[in-house]
Homo-oligomer: A and B are copies of this chain.
Amino acid sequence: MDARKARVLDYGFIELVDFMGGDARIVEAARICYRSDGGDDAALIRRLVTRGHNTPIKHAVMTWRVKCPLFVARQWLRHRMGTFNEQSLRYCAARREYYLPRGVPLIDEYVAAMEAAFDTYEALCAAGWKKERARGVLGTAVYTEFIWTVNAWSFINWLRKRLAAGAQYEHRCYARAAGELWRAAMPLTADAVLGDGLAAGD
C-alpha cells in the first residue's frame, strides 16, 4: 500500500483520496483577519487548536475512502460531520465479506452464524425478496465502503473521540491509521493535535 492508504482490520482499509488547503491555508485564513504576514506558522496553528479557534481550520478539507464493518460505519456516520456516500445494499448484492475478530472464543460458531446468514440472504433474494429487505438478515459485521469528505476541524473531533480509551477497538484502529496518514498531509496541524504519538494499545 502507498503512503496514502493503510490496511485496517482483516479486510478493511482507509485511504486519503485527496486534500485541499492543508497547513498553509489554515495559516492564510487565520491571517486574513489580522492582515498580518510574519510569525511562526507552527505556533499560530498550535494556538488555534488549543483555543478552539476553529474557523480557519475548517478551510482545510479532506476526502477519505473507507472500507469497514457496518457497525463501525454506523458509529462514524453518527458524528454527522462532513459528507458521506456509502455503498448501498438496496441496489448492490452484498458480498460475502465480514469482519473476523482475533483472539476470541467461539470463533467457529461466529463464522457459522455469519455464513448461515449469507446463505439465507441469497436464498431470499433468489426467491424474489427485494435486496433492500433481504439484507435484514445480514449482521453488522459485514463490510461496507464509503467516501467521506470532511473539513479538518470536524476530522479532528472525530479523531479525538475515536482515539480515546473508551472508543470501540475496531473503530480506534481506523482512527490510528487515519491519524498517521493525516500527519503526512498536514504535519503542523497533526503535531498540534496529536503531539509526538498516537494513543497506543487497545
* A residues apposed to B, CB below 8 Å: 18-21, 25, 28-30, 32-35, 55-56, 58-59, 61, 63, 69-71, 74, 77-78, 80, 83-88, 90-92, 98-99, 101, 104-106, 109-110, 112-114, 116-117, 120, 123-124, 127-129, 132-133, 135-141, 145-147, 149, 151, 168-170
Q: How far is the CA of A63 from the CA of B32 in the complex (A)?
A: 14
A101 nearest in chain B by CB position: B133
Among B32, B69, B124, B128, contact of A110 (Cβ-Cβ < 8 Å): B124
Question: In the complex where A128-B105, A139-B138 touch, is A83 in contact with B99 (Cβ < 8 A)?
Answer: no
In the A-B complex, list the 6 residue pairs whose CB atoms are closest, starting with the nearest.
Answer: A136-B141, A20-B20, A58-B83, A113-B120, A137-B139, A29-B85
Most buried by B among A34, A59, A136, A170: A136
A-B contact pairs, 9 of them (CB 8 A): A29-B147, A59-B85, A80-B84, A101-B133, A104-B129, A112-B120, A116-B116, A132-B168, A137-B141
A132 nearest in chain B by CB position: B168
Nearest CB of chain B from residue A37's CB, rounded to whole Å: 13
A133 CB contacts on chain B under 8 angstroms: 101, 104, 168-170
A75 nearest in chain B by CB position: B90
Whether the pair A84, B90 counts as a contact (CB closer than 8 A) is no
Whether the pair B33, A56 counts as a contact (CB closer than 8 A) is no
Nearest CB of chain B from residue A70's CB, rounded to whole Å: 8
A119 nearest in chain B by CB position: B113
